[in-house]
Amino acid sequence: MSRTLQPWLIAFAVMASLPAGADDSHDEPAPATGRPVAGATAAEQPVEEPESEEAIEQRKLIEEFHKEQAVEQGNLAAIRKTAAFREVRAIDAPADAGQILAFHPLAHGGIVIATGAGERYGETSLIGAVASLLRLAGNAGKLPPTNQLTWLDASGEASRSAPLPFSCKGVTVAPDGAVIAVGEDRVVVFSADGEQVAEAAAPHFQMTADELAQLREEMVEQHREQLEATRQTCERLVEAQAALEQVPEEERTPRQQRELVQVMMMVRSFEARTPSDAATETAIDKGLAKARAIHRVAASADHLFLVANEPTGYGYGVWRCGRDFSTPEKIVDGLRGCCGQMDVQVVGDALVIAENGRHHVAVYALDGEPLRTFGEACRTDIRKGFGGCCNPMNACPGPDGSLLLSESNGLVKQFAADGTLVEVLASANVQSGCKNSSIGLSTDGATLYYLDINRGRVLVLEKKS
């Protein structure tokens, strides 16, 4: 039996850990617990069927999940007391600018931030959608914030700003001080003085008519495979629902009643999102838009490095082009990342990729030649590996040729160039969860920045004296 905690049970476990009374207004009776009911005879007492092996295993995994969370929080609290950096303040977006979506340190102190009305982590979930509606209701009559870049000095004061034509996904600063921002399928370049000097649409996505036709055929085939897989899953659920409905309602056990409700909900969900043949063109348009979208950017003196989705299938690739967007070429493929996160950084003369889906760091030459990887998954000892479902999340250059890596729970670790752990530098106080966890270090090495994407701000951690 596979010891894998089902995703819906993870969500249930997290919801179950919320404070009691958070949502106790309902009309339905609580599920049977097997405890005696006051005033009922022995014959009337509810009888709970013995748990299946799978149910027992899932319950144990949920208990382990909660224990791991408790241990992790204890470890993080202890690290905050002894780490080299401590959190001293937070940088918020300017008034009416929305939230901070991305940032990068500036060579002469301070940072450049990208702000706007970005989608928060979990926004596409039911809970996220409800939260969005509540935020919209609370902001009725207000105009949405403008997407923009803002240059902040070391004290956090804004010196200048520039509009962006998109919701920013990533920003970097080139060796000459130029600021490059990406979002949707666009790249915008600003001079060190904040003047826009160049813009391009999907410079990595350059195809001949024949290549584009072939890509469309591959997308059609992929769409048909997804259609068939969804249809088969829906058929199995309908069969399971029919089997449960054959049991007379008065004879159904509490477990069968719960299973029927769950299956009916899943059937409705699958039927609502079952793709149709008529939606093939829409699916292709979405696939092309996804392939054109740019997630991250890094820059060397001569090149830009763009992270984007693989045109078909899953995963990410890295495309290199000139600083003027010329001669684009794919130099890295097959990268695995979670929740749209795949960070790339130029560190010295190497390209560093935080490949969170494989719990390691991949280092390449600037032409895409693989050099080395390091790191592994470890949920019990933060010094032995990267925890969570997918880490490390982000990277940045450290002092003396070292490398800093962040995890989504707030940890920041320093590694030597060969991948040896030097020190656990900090533990930013953020909510755990797979998300953008960008970091940056000031030129003098005294200030560490960590993006708290859930709250739309940048945390400032200073080196202890």
Please state the rounded mean pLDDT for residues 174-179: 97
* Domain presence at residue 244: yes
- Specify whether 341 is located in the same domain as 437: yes
Q: Which of 147, 155, 151, 153 is nearest to 195 (CA)?
A: 151
> Is residue 350 located within the same domain as residue 432?
yes
pLDDT tens, position by position, 381-408: 888 999 888 999 999 999 999 999 999 9
pLDDT at 66: 76
Average pLDDT over residues 400-421: 96
Is the pLDDT at 126 greater than 70? The verdict is no
What are the phi and psi torsion angles at 7 (to 5°)? -55, -40
Domain boundary among the residues 256, 285, 314 is at: 285
Percent of the chain with pLDDT over 90: 54
- What pLDDT does residue 51 have? 66
pLDDT of residue 215: 87
Task: Please give the Cα distance from 363 to 417 (Å, whole number).
Answer: 10
Whether 361 is covered by a domain: the verdict is: yes
Residues 6+ positions from 279 with CB-CB distance below 8 Å: none
Three-state SS for 241?
Answer: helix
Q: Look up residue 57 and give its amino acid.
A: E
Read off the pLDDT band of 138 (50, 70, 90). low
Task: Let me know if residue 260 belongs to a domain.
Answer: yes
Range of the domain at 263: 209-285
What is the number of other CB atoms lying within 10 angstroms of the CB of residue 304? 26
The answer to whether residue 44 scores a pLDDT higher than 60 is no
**In degrees rounded to 5, what are phi and psi of residue 134?**
-65, -40
Same-domain check for residues 250 and 344: no
Task: Give yes or no for residue 15 having a pLDDT over 60.
Answer: no
How confident is the model over 183-194, as a mean pLDDT? Answer: 96
Q: Which run of H or of E encompasses 411?
A: strand 411-415
Mean pLDDT across 226-246: 86
d(CA 269, CA 320): 41
Do both 280 and 362 map to the same domain? no
Closest by CA to 188, choosing from 179, 86, 216, is 179
pLDDT band of 125, cuts 50, 70, 90 = very low
Q: Report the pLDDT averaged over residues 36-59.
A: 61
- Residues pairing with 450 in the sheet: 439, 459
Cβ-proximal residues to 8 (8 Å cutoff; 6+ apart), any chain:
none
Cis check: omega of the bond before 399, within 30 degrees of 0 = no
- Are 465 and 378 found together in one domain? yes
Final residue of a structural domain among 285, 318, 349 = 285
Domain count for the chain: 2
- Domain holding 430: CATH number? 2.40.128
CA–CA separation, 294 and 266 (whole Å):
33
DSSP code of residue 118: P
Averaged pLDDT, 247-266: 88
Pair 294, 245: CB distance under 8 Å:
no
Sheet with 394-397: strands ordered across: 394-397, 403-406, 411-415, 421-427
Are residues 362 and 431 both part of a single domain? yes
Give the Å distances, CA to CA, from 87 to 9, 181, 194, 237, 456: 34, 27, 29, 50, 16
Residue 49 has pLDDT above 80, yes or no: no
CB 453 within 8 A of CB 343: no
Structure tokens at 455: 């709250």
Nearest residue to 199 via CA among 191, 208, 207: 191
Task: Look at residue 307 and tell me if it is in a domain.
Answer: no
* pLDDT reading at 21 higher than 50: no
Task: Give every strand in the sheet of 196-201, ordered side by side.
Answer: 170-173, 179-183, 186-190, 196-201
Query: Does residue 116 form part of some domain?
Result: no
Structural contact between residues 399 and 381, judged by C-beta atoms closer than 8 angstroms: no
Residues 262 and 354 in one domain: no
What is the pLDDT averaged over residues 1-10? 49
Q: Which long-range contacts (CB under 8 A, 24 or more apart) does 80-85 make?
A: 80/426, 80/427, 80/429, 83/424, 83/425, 83/426, 83/427, 84/423, 84/425, 84/426, 84/463, 84/464, 85/412, 85/425, 85/426, 85/448, 85/461, 85/462, 85/463, 85/464
* C-alpha–C-alpha distance, residues 423 and 29, integer Å: 52
Task: Judge contact between 94 and 159, C-beta under 8 A.
Answer: no
Query: Would you say residue 6 has pLDDT above 60?
Result: no
Q: Give the DSSP H or E segment for 282.
A: helix 280-292
Tell me, what's the pLDDT at 16?
45
**Residue 438: inside a domain:** yes
Boundary of a domain, candidates 258, 285, 312: 285
Confidence of residue 26 (pLDDT cuts 50, 70, 90): very low
Tell me the pLDDT of the chain averaged across its residues.
84
Query: Is 430 buried (19+), middle (13-18) or exposed (0-12) by CB count in 10 A?
Result: buried
> Domain for residue 37, yes or no?
no
For the record, the structure tokens of 161 come out as: 């700003």
**pLDDT: is 218 or 34 the higher one?**
218
- Based on the fold, state whether residues 270 and 346 are members of the same structural domain: no
- Residues 92-102 have pLDDT tens digits of 999 889 999 99
Report if residue 184 sits inside a domain: no
Q: How far is CA 251 from the centre of its chain?
A: 45
| pLDDT > 70 in the chain, percent | 82
- With contact defined as beta carbons under 8 Å apart, do 170 and 182 qualify? yes
Residue 191: both structure tokens together? 């001079």
Predicted confidence band of residue 12 (pLDDT cuts 50, 70, 90): very low
Q: How confident is the model at residue 275 (pLDDT cuts 50, 70, 90)?
A: low
Q: What are phi and psi of 333, to 5 degrees?
A: -140, 175
pLDDT, tens digit (0-9, with 9 covering 90-100), for 426-452: 999 998 888 999 999 999 999 999 999
